[in-house]
């Protein structure tokens, strides 16, 4: 089967010797809604721009719908939608002018869907783009990314800097109009709440690679925090299967695991203090905080 997106062992640096992504592999298949997570600077924008063909990796293979996006830019771009936080629409054009431009670019542009989205987002045609608020301009950008019914929608912090209601509206509109008909969506976000609400899969970038790539429900079920009143060091947990991070806090050794409580119980038996160990489920938000704190 041809994947919608295939990144295979991709490596990218901006300055010699400072790699941002190393050996990153990721595939997306039809209908998946994937939340791309990672701390500031983890490489989310870099990965999305490589997927789009806007950036070239120093090593590795990129395929969009089976094509090299740099060799076939027009062929792949017609099947894509893209919105980013810092995207700038031509400020001198009216909204209608921007829509006209997009209608001409995309043979699959759907006028009925355009009208539906314009009504939902309360977008008028006569205003100059340069006079729109940040939220209004982003609505126009989302409309332009969706109305040709792309097979893949790439969203790089699409609602960054906007209020919670606007965030919810953008993502839910995208999912409602696209995922329902089998399109694939990859969106980067710092908002766990957004990811938990709409993603079916989570991909976490950390330390230049993919640390987690899992079905969201499975991740929720198998994520636990193990705490031991132990004299052991953080290294005692680090080598165990499924342990993503560990640290000592206030004399307590704690580690996060993504292979379920049973697996943890079976592995920590030999550690000092194991008889007093507590193994509890934790939220994904807490998992990511533990990873940020426990893998430095
Ligand atoms: N054009 C560039 N030139 C040099 N370094 C860059 C450039 N773009 C990004 N970087 C560096 O690459 C790293 C990854 O940046 P990137 O924007 O991909 O991360 P991100 O996960 O999207 O971050 P954020 O969540 O803050 O948006 C950062 O250290 C950044 O400083």
Predicted-complex ipTM score: 0.98
Q: Are residues 197 and 256 in the same domain?
A: no
Please identify, among 180, 195, 216, the residue that sits at the C-terminal boundary of a domain.
216
Same domain for 37 and 143, yes or no, is: yes
Q: Which CATH number belongs to the domain containing residue 183 in this structure?
A: 3.40.50.300
Q: What angle do CA 57, 59, 60 make, to 5 degrees?
A: 95
Ligand 1 atom with the smallest distance to the CA of 205 is 21
**Structural domains counted in the chain:** 2
Q: How far, in Å, from the CA of 3 to the mean position of ligand 1?
A: 26
Q: Which of the listed residues 216, 243, 277 is the one where a domain comes to its end? A: 216
Q: In terms of domains, do 192 and 80 share one?
A: yes
CA–centroid distance, residue 189 to ligand 1 (Å): 14
**Closest C-alpha to ligand 1, atom 31:** 41
Do 172 and 228 lie in one domain? The reply is no
Same domain, 281 and 180: no
Whether residue 230 sits in one domain with residue 126: no
Question: Separation of 45 CA from ligand 1 center, angstroms?
Answer: 7
Whether residues 103 and 242 fall in one domain = no
**153 and 180 share a domain?**
yes
pLDDT averaged per 10 residues, the chain (length 296): 94 92 97 95 96 94 95 91 88 94 94 93 88 90 94 90 82 84 92 90 96 96 90 73 90 90 88 85 93 80
Q: Say yes or no: 81 and 146 in one domain.
A: yes
Q: Of the residues 184, 216, 248, which one is the last residue of a structural domain?
A: 216
Is there a single domain that holds both residue 42 and residue 113? Answer: yes
pTM of the predicted model as reported, rounded to 2 decimal places: 0.93
Q: How far apart are CA 252 and CA 127, in angstroms?
A: 59
Q: What is the pLDDT of residue 231?
A: 64
Give the closest residue (by CA) to ligand 1 atom 17: 45
Residues 71 and 17 in one domain: yes
| The pLDDT value given to residue 233 | 63
For ligand 1, atom 1, name the residue with the nearest CA: 14
Distance, in Å, from the CA atom of 119 to the CA atom of 230, rounded to the nearest integer, reads 60
* Same domain, residue pair 166 and 279: no
Residues contacting ligand 1 via CB (< 6 Å): 14, 20, 38, 40-46
| Enclosing domain of residue 24 | 5-216
Q: Say what the pLDDT of residue 29 is.
A: 96
The pLDDT value recorded for residue 174 is 84
| Strand runs labelled E in the chain | 5-15, 18-28, 33-37, 59-64, 80-84, 152-156, 184-188, 201-206, 209-215, 224-228, 243-249, 252-257, 278-281
């Amino acid at each position: 089967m041809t994947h919608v997106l295939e990144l295979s062992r991709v490596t990218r640096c901006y300055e010699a010797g400072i790699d941002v992504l190393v050996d990153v592999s990721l595939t997306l298949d039809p209908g998946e809604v994937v939340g791309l997570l990672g701390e500031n600077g983890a490489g989310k924008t870099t990965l999305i721009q490589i997927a789009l063909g806007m950036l070239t990796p120093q090593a590795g293979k990129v395929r969009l719908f089976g094509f090299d996006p740099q060799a076939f830019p027009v062929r792949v771009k017609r099947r894509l939608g893209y919105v980013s936080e810092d995207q700038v629409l031509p400020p001198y054009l009216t909204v209608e002018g921007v829509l006209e431009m997009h209608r001409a670019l995309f043979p699959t542009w759907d006028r009925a869907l355009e009208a539906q989205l314009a009504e939902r987002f309360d977008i008028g045609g006569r205003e100059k783009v340069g006079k729109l608020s940040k939220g209004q301009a982003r609505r126009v950008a989302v409309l332009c990314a969706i109305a040709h019914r792309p097979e893949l929608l790439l969203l790089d912090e699409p609602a960054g800097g906007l209020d919670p209601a606007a965030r919810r509206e953008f993502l839910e509109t995208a999912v409602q109009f696209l995922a329902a008909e089998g399109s694939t969506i990859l969106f980067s976000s710092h908002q766990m709440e957004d990811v938990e609400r709409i993603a079916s899969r989570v991909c976490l970038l950390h330390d230049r690679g993919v640390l987690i790539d899992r079905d969201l429900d499975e991740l929720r079920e198998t994520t636990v925090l193990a705490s031991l009143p132990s004299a052991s060091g953080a290294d005692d947990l680090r080598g165990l299967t499924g342990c993503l991070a560990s640290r000592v806090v206030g004399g307590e050794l704690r580690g996060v695991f993504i292979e379920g409580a049973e697996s943890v119980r079976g592995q920590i038996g030999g550690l000092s203090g194991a008889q007093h160990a507590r193994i509890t489920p934790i939220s994904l938000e807490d998992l990511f905080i533990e990873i940020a704190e426990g893998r430095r």
